[in-house]
Chain A
Amino acid sequence: MKQFIAQKVLNMKPSGIRQFFDLVLGMKDVISLGVGEPDFVTPWQIREAGITSLEQGYTSYTSNKGLLKLRMAIHQYLKKQYGLNYSTEDEILVTVGVSEAVDLALRAIVEPSDKIIVPSPSYVSYGPMTELAGGIPVYVDTRKDKFKLTADNLKRHLDAKTKAIIFNYPANPTGVSYTKKELEQLAEVIIKHKILVLSDEIYGDLTYDFAHTPFATIKGMQKYTIYLNGFSKSYAMTGWRVGYACGPGQIIHAMTKIHQYTIMCVSITSQMAACEALHSGSSSVEEMKREYRRRREFIVSELNRIGLDCHLPQGAFYAFPSIKITGLDCLEFSKKLLKEEKVAVVPGTAFGEELTDYIRISYASSFDKLKEAVTRMERFVKRHSKT
């Protein structure tokens, strides 16, 4: 059957990690630190709004761009929270999670053989989505700079074919985020070379050490930025699949063209619930954030104590420790840890092929589970340490 499958899909990397995932899913009583979503359920008032909308008979299509009242709520949220100004009519598009927004943005801008800068480690979909859109991902190794893209490193990878950068902050998988100053340094290069930034800020509400700064708020950057955000992480709404893109009218218009033919519109139930999230969800976000922050302090100090060197992530709910002390490759480490101690983590190579010395740990788990997982990992590391 292979002859029927498109070459660019065949070219997409099959991953050894998939097998590992199947292994995890087939096992019982595993403590999983491999989950990329909140362990909270959606706050009740938001779920209730979804239920009510169904009772009231909201079961139709909506405008392609998304419900007007949701776009208005997004407009107001961005204005109030960050002083960002996006027009409800032309500059906001509601999408099926940020994932769809990433796909649309790439397909809307990429010409064959355009290059897209992808700082590595990166979220798993950026590279493959770029390739599907016909572009060439240029992975930029950031290990030397504590997993942050610097202006110098960016400059070294630019050429005439570079169209955009795509990255997220706070980052999945490392948890690193950027200060306003660091963004300004990047902005200088971006504006000079007139390239776009696809700025995935889905974890923006979960920043712990300094205020989150959207890239579009940096002077001169709004016209070069496609701002991507959604409800999944901050409001614990992953299963509802609601995200959005904001940017220059012409780009949003181009993305909307693709969206109207492929998706039509986001589920109306989810959009109604998302309205409620923006209306009344901020105190729930604050409460969850306080909880994540405590877990972060705990897990990072524990990882360092047991010998897995780990920087302090500034946001999201991930830690990205080095497993060098064990001398194991990350896939081997993850498989052994799963088999011997029943703890699941994600191998670093899922996020970039050079990351063989790292694993991603999600601390979106109850404190009891984190504590037990640390005990098991400590035993494991002791057993496998080279020294």
Chain B
Amino acid sequence: MDDILEILEKDARLSAQEIAKMTRKKPEEVKKIIDKYEKEGIILKYKAVINRELVRHKDEEVRAIIEVNLTPQKDVGFDKIAERIYSFPEVYACYLVSGTYDLLVFVRGKDLHSVARFVSEKLSPMENVKGVVTHFLLKKYKEDGVILKQRQEDKRIAISY
């Protein structure tokens, strides 16, 4: 992967100027490359990785992973029905997978009840949905390559040869 993409994927807050210093390029050049990536949709958006385990708010949410079995449709396969499913705002990730089921759908809601309602009232009754298995998420350990623990302290001694 391109150096600039790798840098931004690790820390999206870095400025073009800082990235320029790291890559021995001119800041304008870096800016141009980033603009291009944004235009082409290679960089879609910038966001923070939040450790929700530590966020104890009233707006706490419930997440579930749902295995969905589908009947594929003529000509369009799974794409059309997948689109109907992933377009719901409750769905924050959706994958077509090989194996005993077809779609793996990640949903979130403000409580157990709202997720259950989504499954029973919206997802299950759909015409091409043959069956669903819902797993409620109990604890997150790692997400997007980030281990969700409080920052580890530097264990090295402060000065050494």
Interface residue tally on A, bucketed by range: 20 to 34
In chain B, residues 20-51, which have Cβ atoms closer than 8 Å to a Cβ of chain A?
Answer: 21-24
Residues of chain B within 8 A (CB-CB) of A344 are 158-159
Q: Is B156 an interface residue when CB atoms closer than 8 A count as contact?
A: yes
- Residue A371 at the chain B interface, CB threshold 8 Å: yes
Question: Which residues of the partner chain B approach A298 to less than 8 Å between Cβ atoms?
Answer: 18, 21-22
- Which of A32-40, A253-261, A265-273, A320-328 is the contact stretch? A32-40
Binary interface encoding of chain B residues 128-160 relative to chain A, with 1 for a CB under 8 A from any of its CBs, else 0? 000000000000000000000000001111111
A302 interfacial by beta-carbon distance below 8 Å: yes
Tell yes or no: A182 within 8 A of B by CB.
Answer: no
Is A124 located at the chain interface by the 8 A CB criterion?
yes
CB pair B158 A297 closer than 8 Å: no
A295 at the interface (CB under 8 A from B): yes
Q: State which residues 232-287 of A face B: CB under 8 Å.
A: none
Q: How distant is B153 from chain A, measured CB to nearest CB, in Å?
A: 12
Instruction: Report whether A367 and B11 are in contact in the complex, using a CB–CB cutoff of 8 Å.
Output: yes
Chain A residues within an 8 Å CB radius of B161 = 36, 123-125, 172, 346, 350
Tell me the minimal C-beta distance from B12 to chain A in angstroms.
13
Q: Does residue A290 face the partner (Cβ distance < 8 Å to B)?
A: yes
A30 at the interface (CB under 8 A from B): yes
Q: Is A21's CB within 8 Å of the partner chain B?
A: yes
Q: Which residues of B contact A367 (CB under 8 A)?
A: 11, 14, 22
Shortest CB-to-CB span from A142 to chain B, Å, is 19
Q: Is B7 an interface residue (CB 8 A)?
A: yes
Q: Is the interface of B mostly helix, strand, loop or mixed?
A: loop
Provide the residues of chain B in CB contact with A32, threshold 8 Å. Answer: 158-159
Q: Which partner residue on chain B sits nearest A368 by CB separation? A: B11
Residues of chain B within 8 A (CB-CB) of A123 are 161
A295 touches B22 (CB 8 A): yes
**Is B83 interfacial (CB-CB < 8 Å)?**
no
Q: Which of B21, B23, B24, B158 contacts A35 (CB under 8 A)?
A: B158
B11 and chain A: residue at smallest CB distance: A367
Interface size (B, Cβ < 8 Å)? 18
Q: A98-142: which residues lie under 8 A (CB-CB) from chain B?
A: 123-125
Which of chain B's residues has its CB closest to A35's CB?
A: B156
Name the residue of chain A whose CB is nearest to the CB of B22. Answer: A294
Structural contact, A39 and B22, CB atoms closer than 8 A: no
Which of B14, B23, B160 lies in contact with A36, CB distance below 8 A? B160
Q: How far is the CA of A30 from the CA of B158 in the complex (A)?
A: 8
Instruction: Say whether B75 faces chain A, with CB atoms less than 8 Å apart.
Output: no
Q: How far is the CA of A289 from the CA of B18 in the complex (A)?
A: 19
B59 at the interface (CB under 8 A from A): no
Q: Which residue of A lies closest to B6 (CB)?
A: A290
Contacts known (A290-B6, A294-B7, A294-B22); A25 close to B158, Cβ less than 8 A: yes
Q: Is A301 an interface residue (CB 8 A)?
A: yes
Cβ contacts under 8 Å, A190 to chain B: none
Q: How far is the CB of B98 from chain A (nearest CB, A)?
A: 26
A35 and B159 form a contact (CB under 8 A): yes
Min CB distance A109 to B, Å, is: 23
Known: A25-B159, A298-B18. 14 other contacts (CB 8 A): A21-B159, A24-B158, A25-B158, A30-B158, A35-B156, A35-B157, A39-B156, A41-B155, A125-B161, A290-B3, A295-B22, A297-B21, A297-B22, A344-B158
CB-CB nearest 4 A-B residue pairs: A34-B159, A294-B22, A32-B158, A36-B160
Residues of A in contact with B (beta carbons under 8 Å apart): 21, 24-25, 30, 32, 34-37, 39, 41, 123-125, 172, 290, 294-295, 297-298, 301-302, 344, 346, 350, 367, 371
26 A-B pairs with CB atoms under 8 Å apart are A21-B159, A24-B158, A25-B157, A25-B158, A30-B158, A32-B158, A35-B157, A35-B159, A37-B160, A39-B154, A123-B161, A124-B161, A125-B161, A290-B3, A290-B6, A294-B7, A294-B22, A294-B23, A297-B21, A297-B22, A297-B23, A298-B18, A298-B21, A302-B21, A344-B159, A346-B159
